[in-house]
Homo-oligomer: A and B are copies of this chain.
Amino acid sequence: MGGSNSVLNFGAGPAKLPREVLLEVQGELLNYQNMGMSIMEMSHRSPEYSKINADAQKAVRELMNVPDNYRVLFIQGGGTGAFAAVAMNLLNRTGSADYLVTGTWSRKAAKEARKYGNVKLVFPEPELGTIPDQSTWTFDPEASYVYYCANETVDGVEFGFIPETHDVPLIADMSSSIMTKEIDVKKFGVIIAGAQKNIGPAGVTVIIVRDDLLGNPMTICPSILDFTHISKENSVHNTPATFSVYVMNKVFDWIKRNGGVKEMEKQANEKSKLLYDTIDNSDGFYYCPISEECRSRMNVPFRVGFNKGNVALEAEFLDHALKYNMHQLKGHRSVGGMRASLYNAVTLEDVQALVKYMKEFQKEKAAL
């Protein structure tokens, strides 16, 4: 039982969880609160799960300073489920929506939304690793909403600012950046976030929705994606992935104990700066294709072996990394190269170990 503490997990999701959380979960796996049962074996309407559901909602409010006129919901179906849900809950307003496509996930969200209405792009799809200057954006004043992905997990592109949409509701996919940066929730109409990167295991998606955007779902919206219905039923409209919500709630407690979102943000800045500096100071041996102003603090894609990367060298890099117990560093199949994900549970020490290895690997290759 237990397991090595020395493994370094840079996976993009499902991703590293705080060890303290896993130990707590393990400790009470067969005996939740001395009930003699696992939390997995209890009704979603039991007092025990009801408290978890309430506590987790409260934690989101507290950690993100969510205003009173927003509801916090938990749904199933991941980010992709939420893409459809956003459109089916909000497109009824005018039948058209504006999308900022900056990478894989926002492209998928736009594609899903096209099933339900008119989707307009705010700018033509940009070159990989860039976000077009705001002066070139074109908004439709009649849009039901404006949608963007705050951090593109696959591409390593992150918005360093919140798009200004004037009175049109702004919808953000924060699946890979939720609770890693202090944000002003009232600038958003809806925030969606799959848990499996910064705040929990897979199986639950957090939805933060402004009250006035409820009440107008399309008639074809499935109950499990209907924000209005789910809000009325307090996220137990049907059986949720109870264990996922339970673990997520423990991660929320862990974030609270560790300085809250403010501290997560500070660490995210430190961790990502260390890695980008190592890449930028490698005389081109390591290469990150993302423009500096939109480099993600969460997902750092890089090539090994100058410029576009040397595939043989990259395989060697991955292979040696495994010997140092560094896991899940391989880049997304659509991008290639490496990707180090630096979510909340990844420590500065983990990143220090990674850059130490990177420097050693570079030195070894230079000596050949």
List residues of A whose CB falls within 8 A of some B CB: 1-4, 6-7, 9, 11-17, 19, 22-23, 25-27, 29-31, 35-38, 40-44, 46, 76-81, 83-85, 88, 112, 115-116, 194, 196, 201-203, 219-225, 237-244, 247, 325, 327-328
Contacts and interface: CB of A to CB of B under 8 A. Distances in A.
A7 B35 CA distance: 8
A239 B13 contact: yes
A46 B202 CA distance: 14
Given A36-B325, A202-B241, A22 B15 contact: no
Given A30-B19, A31-B2, A40 B224 contact: no
A366 to B, nearest CB: 31
What are the 3 tightest A-B residue pairs by CB atom distance, in nearest-first order? A3-B31, A203-B241, A7-B36
A41 B9 contact: yes
Contacts of A15: 41
Given A29-B29, A43-B13, A220-B116, A201 B2 contact: no
18 contacts: A1-B31, A11-B42, A12-B43, A14-B242, A17-B38, A46-B328, A76-B76, A76-B77, A78-B224, A78-B238, A78-B239, A79-B239, A115-B219, A115-B220, A115-B221, A115-B222, A203-B241, A241-B244
A238 B77 CA distance: 8
Contact of A30 (B2, B203, B221): B2
Contact of A81 (B11, B41, B77, B247): B77
Contacts of A27: 1
Nearest to A114: B219
A22 B79 CA distance: 29
How many copies are assembled? 2
A244 B240 CA distance: 11
- Report whether over half of chain A's contact residues are helix, strand or loop; otherwise say mixed: loop
Contact of A220 (B41, B77, B220): B220
A244 B203 contact: yes
A243 B196 CA distance: 11
Nearest to A111: B223
A17 B194 CA distance: 27
B17 A80 contact: no
Nearest to A205: B76
A226 to B, nearest CB: 10
A44 B14 contact: yes
A84 to B, nearest CB: 4
Nearest to A27: B1
Nearest to A1: B27
A39 B327 CA distance: 13
B35 A26 contact: no
A16 to B, nearest CB: 5
A237 B80 contact: yes
A360 B242 CA distance: 35
A193 to B, nearest CB: 12
Given A79-B238, A80-B238, A22 B3 contact: no
Given A1-B30, A35-B327, 7 more contacts: A1-B26, A16-B37, A25-B29, A36-B325, A40-B201, A84-B223, A220-B220
Nearest to A26: B29
